[in-house]
Amino acid sequence: MDLFSLTVNELSGLLAKGETTSRAVTESVLERIKAVDSKVRAYITVTGNAALAQADRADRDRKAGTASPVLGIPVAIKDNMCTAGVRTTCASKILGNFVPPYDATVVGRLVQAGTVMPGKVNMDEFAMGSSTENSGFFATKNPWDLERIPGGSSGGSAAAVAAGECIAALGSDTGGSIRQPAACCGIVGLKPTYGRVSRFGLVAFASSLDQIGPLTKDVTDSAIMMNAIAGHDPKDSTSADVPVPDFRSSLVKDVKGMKVGIPKEYFIEGMDPEVDKAVRDAVRTLEGLGAKVVDVTLPHTGYAVATYYILATSEASSNLARYDGVKYGFRAEGAKDLLDQYMKSRSQGFGPEVKRRIMLGTYALSAGYYEAYYKKGQQVRTLIKRDFDEAFKTVDVIATPTAPTAAFRIGEKSSDPLQMYLSDIFTISVNLAGIPGISIPCGFTKGNLPIGLQLLGRHFDEASVLRAAFAYEQATDWHKKRPKIS
């Protein structure tokens, strides 16, 4: 039995019974990283010695009577979350040697719960991308096909979970960056409601859209991870002070009477027919389990991509102004004066996609254009949110494809930013509205590439999303499939 291939829930049971140790699990994961990461390229930083020390501490804590479902479980962290004493790069040369003096709140909660951190995983630079090709260091590969992308921007997190290079991982989702890579890699990715999980210590891309969530091998693990990281944080002014349920209590197979909305705007021309069929088959499975399928409309969906790329780039322009070569991070050599230092440091430190988005956002916020672009974008965002509010008056969850295609080939869309941006066409609206969404495996293409089903819920109703996802998962075997890495 390969310990690295098991779930959080399975390992938690074995650890509780004394049938294995955290050290044995961690050694299995580290051996797996050594065996396959030269091909997958999921990790930016591997913290092997520290992980083994954490594992030994977890084993001592367990013997002393401490119990936690994630105690001693190796969890990889996306490299845009601060980790005290461990390099945090955002996959950017501008933060190549940045070592934070503190932990992000989610990291601190995992440390408190006794998890093990095998390392920091790759991503699109500053979380800007849909393929992890925009990393300032190297591209991560999809474990199902090493010539294809793992999705983005949490591609390293998704690839590491799918390849068994960790048991679970944390990612961040600004426009689909947890759900889309989860779909590409055949795993489960949950974006919680905006404000459900603290963003303190998450390096900001677009502050009104960013949200941290888990990437796991199944829905049960997603609920376990949410129990560990969710909750109000006074350090984050956008953190919602609302009760946190036991997410595991949502995991019931019964969806009888649940109403599942199908929005016509998400089943469009140009979508891969294999994706369309797999998602419609998944909806029929839910119907067979007793759910009632209802047609709904989200009429402003067509404006979502344009709205997102105005608002997200505007916020990125503002957030990334701090990287000036003065306070911390990369500083270019040979500058003649302060302005020259700014220009050289930023032009050499940022990659092309980050520069593109900074320029787009700076333009949208500039004098004379703010009203025409940013303000109008915020108004359309309100309309998109109202669409969901209206739909959720009649349904409990909404089912859609996670992405219009399965994972595409590395380099296939690099020269066409618009085609790359359209990879997130089904996920972006969810961030604009701030609602929770999950991607779960629902099939494979003829080329053996995973397909994702996306389930969306009302604000702070992750329970209904997890209930529907769990019921579907228990009725199918897609989540049990694992890639064979040659």
Q: Is 177 a catalytic residue?
A: yes
Q: CB atoms < 10 A from the CB of 401, how many?
A: 27
Among the listed residues 28, 78, 172, 222, the single catalytic one is: 78
Planar angle of CA 198, 37, 205, nearest 5 degrees: 30
Residue 317's CB is within 10 A of a number of other CB atoms, namely 20
Strands (E) in 35-150, as ranges, are 43-46, 75-78, 119-121
Tokens standing for residue 293: 């399928």
- The phi, psi pair for 352, rounded to 5°, reads -60, -40
Burial of 305 (0-12, 13-18, 19+ CB in 10 A): middle
Task: Give the count of alpha carbons within 13 A of 348, CB side only.
Answer: 16
Pairing of strands 75-78, 119-121: parallel
Q: Out of 92, 130, 135, 153, which one is annotated catalytic? A: 153
Helices and strands per DSSP (H, E), number in the chain: 15, 11
Catalytic residue among 28, 135, 157, 177: 177
Instruction: Reply yes or no on whether 131 is catalytic.
Output: no
Give the phi and the psi of residue 69 in degrees, each rounded to 5: -60, -20
- Residue 226, C-beta contacts closer than 8 angstroms, at least 6 positions apart: 190, 192, 197, 213, 214, 247, 462
Strands of the sheet containing 168-173, edge to edge, are 43-46, 119-121, 75-78, 168-173, 211-216, 188-191, 437-444, 450-457, 397-401, 259-263, 292-296
Catalytic residue at 366? no
Strands (DSSP E) along 41-152, which ranges? 43-46, 75-78, 119-121
Residues carrying an active site annotation:
78, 153, 177
